[in-house]
Amino acid sequence: MNDLILNEGTVYGAQYYTVEPKMTWDPNWYNQHWHDMERWCSNTLEDIPEDISLAPDARWYAFNSRFYFREKEDQMMFVLKWS
Gap between the Cα atoms of 61 and 68, Å rounded: 5
What integer pLDDT is reported at residue 50 of this predicted model? 67
> Quick one: pLDDT at residue 35?
85
Q: How confident is the model at residue 2 (pLDDT cuts 50, 70, 90)?
A: low
Boundaries of domain holding 78: 4-82
Q: What is the pLDDT of residues 17-57, one digit of tens each?
A: 999 998 766 666 666 788 889 889 989 998 776 666 667 88
Contact between residue 4 and residue 83 where contact means Cβ atoms under 8 Å apart: yes
Q: How far apart, in Å, are the Cα atoms of 83 and each of 15, 37, 60, 78?
A: 23, 12, 18, 8
Chain mean pLDDT for the chain: 85
